[in-house]
Chains A and B, each alone.
Chain A
Amino acid sequence: MAEPSAAVQGASSGAQALRGVGRFCRRKPLGALGAFIVIALLVMAVFAEQLAPYGYDETVRGSRMKPPSAAHWLGTDNLSRDMWSRIVFGARVSVTVGVATVGLAVFLATAVGVSSGYFGGAYDLVVQRVVDAWLSFPYLVIVLSVMAVLGPGLLNVVLSLAVLIAAVNSRVIRGATIAVAQSTYVEAARALGCGHARIILWHILPNVAATVIILATIGLGTAILAESALSFLGFGVPPPYPAWGAMLSGSGRTYMFRAPWMAIWPGVAISLAVFGFNMLGDALRDLLDPRLRGLAR
């Protein structure tokens, strides 16, 4: 008797989830499109071996710089490699770098920004001067210095970009925290005897989450583009493993006039990734922000 009941319950929660997805799509069509793109990217990244018809470094004899065709949907590059296969494998690098960088950056920025904005005083003063000093250096100088010490590679790209993006974001999160910390509900929580940890976790963080999400979505695009710059300078993922940025700024740019697809497709992939993450982030912000939640409905 229990089994049919569980099945009915499962079907009902599945239907509920589907209805929720349908409602999300109707109310936030751009957000839904963003979610679709992000899911597609994740699928490409995870199942690259299954989706790509060729290996990322496999050359197809006699197919140098061939335009898009039935045999090669996105054409081939100057080393006779299938562009679609390289774009699919490239998703792995871009998604990994983007998500890992922004995840780490947001974690660091939130920790620094929220603590600095909430506690204020001498702690805030010292932390903000350190951030000021950090921000006064051109970003490429910092990244190149870090990379020169750590050496090229995916992990080091993530670390260096995350630290950089975190410094910028922490300033914004600090501002949002200061505004939220002056709210009456925070004063009320304090009056009721809540500790700092509880106030930060239950009252501050949910109310700066919208800012964090926006920063994260903007940061994803920045991280993917910065990775491309580093790849071009020789600090990214070493070739022949494809990274969209490197494909765009390396041979894509060199052969742009003769084989525009070599630059267009990585560019499209980067734009779509940034667009997808931004749209999804916007929609999530509308849904998650307590102040915007009503408007979202």
Chain B
Amino acid sequence: MNLSRRDLLRLGGAALAGASLVPSVAPAQTPKRGGTLAIRTWDPPHFDPFQTISYKTHIALSFTHSRLLKHKAGPGVVPGTFPIEGDLAESWTQPSETTYVFKLRKGVRWHNKPPVNGRELTADDVVFSVNHFLTAKGNANAYMLRAVEKVEAFDRSTVKFTLKEPFVWFLDMLSNPHAVAIVAKEVLDKFGDFKKHETVIGTGPWMLDSYRPNVGLTFVRNPSYFLPGLPYIDRIEATVDEDNASRMAAFLSGKYDLGWEFPGTVNRVDWVQIKDTLKQKRSKLQTLEFPAPVMSHISMRTDQKPFNDVRVRHAMSLAIDRKAIIDAVFEGVGAMNPPVPAALREWSVPFDKLGDGAKYYKHDPAEAKRLLAAAGYPNGFPGTMCFTPYGSTILVDAMQLVQKDLKAVGIDVKIDQKEYGAYIATCFYGKFESMTFGPQTGFLEPDNFLFGQYYPEELKNQSHINDPVVADMLVRQRRTSDVAKRREIIYDIQRHLAKQQYYVQMPSGIYIAVWEGALKNYGPNMGYDYGGRLMAAWLDR
């Protein structure tokens, strides 16, 4: 399907475009065993999933570890949707609003490495992993399962969760690759934590064969994997490659089978430069485009002047020329975002259904000035904007445009640029004086975007919002199991938030997922679950 930039913009980023560099029709084929898949990766700070939120660690462990549930993968799954299926869980039931019972697969074995040496996984392992996830000191992801009151093993293959209150996103949280990787107690007893590469022992489709710090990781097929015949690919060679020119050259020469950027994509800026060369050198490459869930926004101290005045917040949003940002930093191809990014196509409210608040996403500097004057700031006001570049030219460019747009209506922003660590420790968690500009984690469901950022006293409530109307709706959506009704509540939340503009949302780019034509039965999607997406893929070369 060929879509112009204009088409993609018109579709508000919910569009998809998939293509091969040359037209090809793949007949149904029998999967082949064997082969080595080469990808670019990032050097993990360590391998303990309970001690870091780093994608570098979680991507590596997606090859080696299982979860109770997982997101379905493959060419049939539309990117931006995350249907749930069992991973270690064969089936599950929900006897009440606050109770979930999981039946584990039988015959699941740990990797054949000491100290577990291929023993069979039991319900106690799941109980141990969940409890460790909830209690491990420094686990920044623990909030995902904060609703869990207790987890118990009924027998060797049955696990029961009891929640403190209804939490309809519970299964989504268990499926999320950020959440509980199932680990063995013996490993913790032997090593004290899971940081060393020797502790990478799971029940996943591949086993860590070698780890070369700052060089790469090699994964080999787990011969005892619980799904018969899977995985098809024998070996995954993951290379740490920190220089973009080097990565681009390597990709052009055919070294990598997936796009070198997260999650198996190529940045559009680079893509525009190399696509013609690729047509000649790697004509069988496949591509698929879908909006990225990573969205930047301006957060501000809405508990203080001048941002406690809704007219000021409206003015700020109206000052931003989002189309110019898309043109300048996303090569003209981007997605406008309401409070839930357009990438989450099942939950993001379309702009034509956003209601009155939709008008604040337009660029209208004259109206912005009028609103500022009405709020008592006819000459605008000065402010600081906390920022860290994340090593990204795109982000730096977007920030400059935001600063220029705000200046044009009289808001004179001084950039308070911080080192990444300092930024995460302060501004990312709302510790700033005036404003902050930066990207947010690309979550895979709306609750993380909404509850975390808008519920009073939440860590990531950067704008210090205390809005009883929003808080009530946020709690209600967490208790509404009917998906259609929940979607309507989430749409209502976004409509309310669009009128309040507690955060000024920026557009997102459109990912270009790229993969080698010889890689069959692969479907790109967002998220860290590289292993899950490759588990049933196979190589035809």
Residues of the A chain whose Cβ atoms lie less than 8 Å from the Cβ of B76: none
Query: Would you call A39 an interface residue if the criterion is a C-beta within 8 Å of the partner chain's C-beta atoms?
Result: no
Q: Given contacts A64-B328, A255-B269, are A151 and B397 in contact (CB under 8 A)?
A: no
Q: A250-B393, A257-B273, A258-B272 known; A240 and B421 CB under 8 Å?
A: no
Interface residues of B in 405-431 (CB under 8 A from A): 415, 417-422
Pick from B245, B272, B393 the residue with the most CB of A within 10 Å. B393
> How distant is A75 from chain B, measured CB to nearest CB, in Å?
15
A253 to B401, CA, bound (A): 19
Distance from B441 Cβ to chain A, minimum over Cβ atoms (Å): 20
Interface residues on B, range: 20 to 34
- Which of A89-97, A231-239, A284-292 participates in binding chain B? A231-239
Query: Which chain B residues numbered 381 to 412 have a C-beta less than 8 Å away from chain A?
Result: 387-389, 391, 393, 396-397, 399-401, 403-404
Q: How many residues of A contact B (CB 8 A)?
A: 25
The answer to whether B397 touches A147, judged by C-beta atoms less than 8 angstroms apart, is: no
Contacts A240-B400, A255-B269 given; does A234 touch B388 at CB 8 Å: yes
**Are B417 and A80 neighbours in the complex by a CB distance under 8 Å?**
no
- A148–B396 CA distance with the chains assembled, in angstroms: 19
Residues of B within 8 A of A258 (CB): 272-273
Q: For the complex, would chain A's binding face be called helix, strand, loop or mixed by DSSP majority?
A: loop
> Does residue B7 face the partner (Cβ distance < 8 Å to A)?
no
Nearest CB of chain B from residue A215's CB, rounded to whole Å: 30
Knowing A59-B404, A234-B389, A238-B387, the reply to whether A148 touches B419 (Cβ < 8 A) is: yes
A12: interface (CB < 8 Å): no
A172 contacts partner chain B, Cβ-Cβ < 8 Å: no
State which residues 246-297 of A face B: CB under 8 Å. 250-251, 253-255, 257-258
B residues in contact with A254, CB < 8 Å: 269, 393
CB nearest neighbor in A for B273:
A257
Name the residue in B399, B401, B419 with the highest tally of chain A Cβ atoms < 10 Å from its Cβ: B419
A66 to chain B, nearest CB (A): 13
Q: Does A78 contact B (CB under 8 A)?
A: yes
B residues 252-309 near A (Cβ < 8 Å) are 269, 272-273
In the bound complex, what is the Cα–Cα distance between A169 and B150 (angstroms)?
64
Which residues of chain A have C-beta atoms less than 8 A from B472's C-beta?
none
Residue in B397, B401, B421 whose Cβ sees the most chain A Cβ within 10 Å? B397
Report chain B residues within 8 Å CB of A59. Answer: 404
A/B interface sample: 23 pairs, CB < 8 A? A57-B403, A57-B404, A64-B327, A64-B328, A78-B328, A78-B329, A79-B328, A79-B397, A79-B400, A80-B328, A148-B422, A151-B419, A233-B389, A234-B417, A234-B420, A238-B415, A239-B399, A240-B404, A250-B393, A251-B393, A251-B397, A253-B245, A254-B269
Q: Which 4 A/B pairs are nearest by Cβ-Cβ distance?
A: A238-B415, A234-B389, A238-B417, A240-B400
